[in-house]
Amino acid sequence: MNKTPIFTKYKTGLIVLIILIYATACTNTTKTNTGDKEKKSKYLSQPLVEHIYTADPSAHVFNNKLYIYPSHDVEAGIPENDFGDHFDMRDYHILSMEKVGGKITDHGVALAVKDIPWAGRQLWAPDAAFANGKYYLYFPLKDKNDVFKIGVALSDSPTGPFTPQPKPIAGSYSMDPTIFKDNDGTFYMYFGGIWGGQLQRWNNNKYNADGIEPAADQPAVLPKIARMNADMLSFAEEVKEVQILDENGNLLLTGDNNRRFFEAAWMHKYKGKYYLSYSTGDTHFICYAIGDNPYGPFKYEGVILNPVEGWTNHHSITQFQGKWFLFYHDTQLSGKTHLRNVKMTELKHNSDGTIQTINPMVE
């Protein structure tokens, strides 16, 4: 009787097994890739970088190159709360690109908490400016008494490293500094944010640790503005409030959560008009109001960006290579409130000066 050698049997079985494993692996790979594509297709834009977590992008064009100054999110292991203790950022990384859609460079650590003489904790959303042949990085940071102040650091390069001044800017407080340069060369700082940003603790530029938001039927807490001195290290005037008005010319109320200011003031200028944009915080809109001068008042106009995935939103707007762009963040990479990723998308002004609302998720 003719028998098949046992080795041949095992060899044949082994080949079949390998084929089955390979086929299964290919099938699983296809499913995973499809899932990734489906996940990405949910979002209007993709993260600019994925190797670190970034948020609160302030974008500027220096020497025909786009620079983005974001927060650098880390896993601090602190439970979430309404005061943002879980956002315990320790340094800044600066990003740059030469063209939209091109390579993005991370220039490494530009400034760290450990290098700031007056530092307490929480290095939140920064901004930058160029003047006097220097680059200035403005940053909010809690001092050793756990009160937010705004500091400034200098560098010869837009990417740093930045050397901090020994003390915060005199008269500064709260968070989210934004530097706006008007056509006449004058610089202004807008700043402020409620809840964890502590703006509700300040009244007429005086601090009260027990300060709270006004009642729902009272005017909302307003962002602040101060003109900068030529040295870019100090305020040239007393800090003032920036009024945001409704369609009837009245101040927006605290209870008007879909429109009132919460944090993240930004200023851009378009066809002679001043556009103050900001986040509504707990209702997650990026809104805007239009005025005739840097101080306002500003009349509420509408929504720039609908809510993103994640609790916070914080943005900037700048013109680059002939188009306007909105920079913002969400939580696509992590799915966690405090581990965010920055994005950008084109922003369009209508013929009447209003801005087209952007949906961050694709329906």
Whether cis (ω within 30° of 0) applies to the bond prior to 297 is yes
Decide if 86 contacts 121 (C-beta within 8 A).
no
Query: Tokens 């009787």 map to which residue?
Result: 1
| Mean predicted confidence (pLDDT) in 296-322 | 97
In a domain, 13, yes or no: no
Task: State the pLDDT confidence band at 8, using cuts at 50, 70 and 90.
Answer: very low
- What pLDDT was estimated at residue 20? 40
Q: What is the pLDDT of residues 57-112, one digit of tens each?
A: 999 999 999 999 999 999 999 999 999 999 999 999 999 999 999 999 999 999 99
Domain enclosing residue 128, as ranges: 42-347
Whether cis (ω within 30° of 0) applies to the bond prior to 161 is yes
Task: State the pLDDT confidence band at 40, using cuts at 50, 70 and 90.
Answer: confident
- What pLDDT was estimated at residue 33? 57
In a domain, 34, yes or no: no
- What pLDDT was estimated at residue 342? 98
CATH number for the domain including 270? 2.115.10.20
In a domain, 200, yes or no: yes
Question: Active site includes 238?
Answer: no
Q: What is the pLDDT of residues 179-219, one digit of tens each?
A: 999 999 999 999 999 999 999 999 999 999 999 999 999 99
- What pLDDT was estimated at residue 34? 56
Name the domain count of the chain.
Answer: 1
Question: Active site includes 50?
Answer: no
Residue 25 has pLDDT above 70, yes or no: no
Q: How many CB atoms lie within 10 A of CB 71?
A: 27
Residue 17 has pLDDT above 90, yes or no: no
In a domain, 74, yes or no: yes
CA dihedral 282, 255, 363, 311 (to 10 degrees): 0
User: Catalytic: which of 176, 256, 263, 330?
Assistant: 263
Residue 354 has pLDDT above 60, yes or no: yes
Mean pLDDT score across all residues of the chain: 92
Q: Among 30-34, 39-43, 230-234, where is mean pLDDT lowest?
A: 30-34
What stretches of 129-263 show up as alpha helix (H) in DSSP? none
Q: Among 10-24, 44-58, 241-255, 322-336, where is mean pLDDT lowest?
A: 10-24
In the chain, the percentage of residues whose pLDDT exceeds 90 is 88
Q: What is the secondary structure of 267-314 as a DSSP string?
A: EEEETTEEEEEEE-GGG--EEEEEESSTT--EEEEEEEE---SSS---
Decide if 203 contacts 211 (C-beta within 8 A).
yes
Global pTM value: 0.90
- What pLDDT was estimated at residue 363? 74
In a domain, 99, yes or no: yes
User: Catalytic: which of 56, 73, 88, 256?
Assistant: 56
In a domain, 357, yes or no: no
In a domain, 353, yes or no: no
| Mean predicted confidence (pLDDT) in 330-356 | 98
In a domain, 356, yes or no: no
Query: Tokens 């609160």 map to which residue?
Result: 56
